[in-house]
Chain A
Amino acid sequence: MTPRPPGVRRRTLLRSLAAVPLAAGVAGCSASSGPAFLPGGGRARLGYGMWDKDQVPAMQEVIDEFRREHPDVEVTIQLTPFTTYWSRLQTAIVGGGAPDVFWMNAPNIAMYARHGTLLPLSDRLRRDGVTLAEHPQNLVELYRYAGEQFGVPKDFDTISLFYNRELFDRARVPYPDENWTWQDVLDAAAEIRDPASSVFGFSAALDRQRDLYPAIFQNGGWVLRDGRSGFADEATIGGLRHLTGAIDRDLAPNAMANADTRSRELFQGGKLAMYNGLPNDSNDPYADPAVRARTGVTVLPRGVRRGTVIHGLANVVNARTPYPDAAYELVKFMAGRLAGEIQGRSGTILPSYAGTQQAFLDAKPEFRMQSFIDQVPDATAYPASVNTMTWERMQLQILGPSWVGPGGRPIEVSARLLAHDMDVVLAKEAAV
């Protein structure tokens, strides 16, 4: 798209290099000198950091398309498993070996942005007239920090209800649909529950994104607002009680059972009738023909209101990249229609660019994948602050004792303890 600049000298590279630490100055500088990622006609070599190996083929295809437009930019995928992704990235950023462009998620964006490790993108996006209006608004806002855009969404996810048709048929219960409420779920679960064959009705796992947040939002509760924790709020506690209540009634496996065998494995094995899943949780059921035939997907049931959580990954640029312009071009390309279509076609991830999702829906025609998109208007953005990881770990540790079934700590006690500890973390990060 941008023509090869004839007279870009080495000085331009030096200038753009020098400008990197001065966050705001970068865009203005390179804008005046044109696209500067080919200093002296050389090649820009970019590393692209990601963690999901299922998405490697699609991302490689996106990169190949990008290179058609920019043959002078080499992009190498650097795959790090999620379990070590963040600790390695942190170390690599300090040591100077981090990828030029890498995946970012909601819990981490504010911390990385606050410490100046990411290249601010607002000025460049404005210059190029990129409004990101094609992506869900609350998703774009997730990657804004202190008024500056640091990340450009590539995909998104909401939560949908996966159900096992065979177990519903066996219990002679109609399949869940968009009219279902919490009560319908509990009633169906009670019918389906069969201790003899260890079949459970539904999953109320201590799983933040799949279970806790949707239940909280469906009850009109909240997690984080104006630097305060929402876990002491009655509506929030009510949402959590929907889950713990089901465990206490033995309708859903408790946290001990879930820690040994996760819900999605129970579902895959036909021991669970309903569970909340992400778009890519459909991959395993779809891969097995027998499981594919018996699996249905629909929107989440409603509580007091409809609700789910929306999250998505973004591509961000390392502030210390020697090729800020090339890196920015890659990120911009990945937020475009073509990149969305390629990702959608792969069937591995739901692209965030509006209108490119059809290919994703078509990739699994037997599943009603449209449910994930239908729920976007009801979705609340994934809650995050600077030290998100710290208070997210607290949720599991403090709520855990209420997730073990009858005789566990009452949920309101755990939730208030959590609210207190979370507020301490939030106050500390506000004080910096």
Chain B
Amino acid sequence: MTQLATPPAVRPATPQPARRPRRTHRSAYLFIAPVGLGLLVFYLYPAVSTFALSFTEWGPFGGHTFTGLDNYAAVFQLETFWTALGNTLLYMVIGLLTLPIAILFAVLLNREGLRGVAVYRTLFFIPFITLPVASGLVWKWLYNGDFGLLNQVLQVFGIPGTYWVSNPDTALFAIGVVQVWSQVGYYLVIFIAGIKAVPKEYWEAAEIDGANAWQRFWRITLPMLSPTIFFCTVINVIATLQIFDLVYVMSASATANPAFSASQSIVSLFYEKAFVEADKGTATALAFLLMLLIGALTFVQFRLQRRWVHYV
């Protein structure tokens, strides 16, 4: 192993330099093997077989019959699919609010002379590293209509509360808020790094020219940060389109939640189909459609970025 990893420079120069990259490649493959094999076995192979199986009727205990596009037709006829699609897109829109919030806090945390920055950063980051199931459960208690802390606080101000995660009108937004809360820390750290990478001279020059704080933020920080924002947007959209655990824990685990349909995401519909109803054919088609949707939205973002992202 160590032999393979030896840098080529310490070896006597080989007459044919063309071969050297190939040797290097070989050891490189070895190094990426752990991750590569994992990806192959746990991502690529399931993805490809999901695609193949989405054209079959899949018995609850195995046994596949080719049924062409039947599963896809079945998905499009499902009323719950369209509801879940609408819900998922709404989750995405709410999820995107994470970014302006994260930028705001990143700017605040980057101010000169602010004490205890590390503490703040940690506090913001904790929700992100907390298991979604754990934070979902705690938030469910906070949201409890009869005994929840949120309603008790609202009561002090005379605002009537509701059954936040069980009321069909509020459940999706209540879950969306938790999604934003849990993700802010992650993007915050990325944005802080992004802002630190902006050369100080730009701000200094602008200040000398008489630009105020708002103008410096709007004309310098934001454009300089745009590649970071673009990266975060792509990652965020991909993540929120796959929202599942929070929905599952907060509104779907109570078996008779009237807000179940109103808050169901595509992945939780997939879970229902695959593991509760044992209808894996429809479920695989659903999973593949979600992949197409994510691919399409990512593609669109890459096309649009040319208009607003500034690379220095």
Contacts and interface: CB of A to CB of B under 8 A. Distances in A.
Contacts of B162: 256
Interface in B251-275: 251, 253-261, 272, 275
Interface stretch (B54-62, B189-197, B221-229): B54-62
A105 B219 CA distance: 66
B280 to A, nearest CB: 10
Interface in B231-261: 251, 253-261
Contacts of B163: 256-257, 259-260
A256 B167 contact: yes
B256 A206 contact: yes
A403 B255 CA distance: 14
Contact of A404 (B59, B144, B258, B260): B258
Which of under 10, 10 to 19, 20 to 34, or 35 or more describes the interface residues of A? 20 to 34
Nearest to A258: B256
A390 interface: yes
Interface in B142-174: 143-148, 162-163, 165-168
B258 A403 contact: yes
A389 B277 contact: yes
A123 interface: no
A389 B146 contact: no
B188 to A, nearest CB: 32
Contacts of A127: none
Most buried by B among A205, A207, A256: A256
Most buried by A among B147, B256, B277: B256
Contacts of A404: 168, 258
Nearest to B280: A90
Nearest to A393: B276
B278 interface: yes
A260 B140 CA distance: 8
B165 A260 contact: yes
Nearest to B251: A259
A115 interface: yes
B276 A115 contact: no
B275 A259 contact: no
A132 B46 CA distance: 46
Given A87-B275, A260-B146, A396 B255 contact: yes
Contacts of B144: 260-261
Given A115-B59, A259-B163, A259-B166, A397 B278 contact: no
B61 A255 contact: no
A387 interface: yes
Contact of A115 (B60, B146, B165, B279): B60
Given A94-B61, A260-B163, A260-B165, A389 B278 contact: yes
A387 B256 contact: no
A393 B277 contact: yes
Contacts of A401: 168, 258
Nearest to A117: B61
Given A198-B146, A255-B257, A256-B259, A393 B272 contact: yes
Interface in B37-67: 59-62
B277 A255 contact: no
A396 B256 contact: yes
Nearest to B61: A115
B276 A255 contact: no
B277 A390 contact: yes
Most buried by A among B144, B148, B253, B257: B257
A400 B277 CA distance: 19
A410 to B, nearest CB: 15
A260 B166 contact: yes
A23 B52 CA distance: 31
A190 interface: no
Contacts of B60: 90, 111, 115
A93 interface: yes
Nearest to A401: B258
Interface in B284-299: none
A87 B273 CA distance: 11
Contacts of B255: 207, 396
A400 B146 CA distance: 19
A387 B277 contact: yes
Contacts of B61: 90, 93-94, 115, 117
Nearest to A84: B275
B254 A259 contact: yes
A396 to B, nearest CB: 5
Contacts of B275: 86-87
A389 B274 CA distance: 12
Interface of B: 59-62, 80, 143-148, 162-163, 165-168, 251, 253-261, 272, 275-279
13 contacts: A83-B253, A90-B278, A94-B62, A117-B61, A255-B166, A255-B256, A260-B148, A261-B144, A389-B276, A389-B278, A393-B276, A397-B261, A400-B260
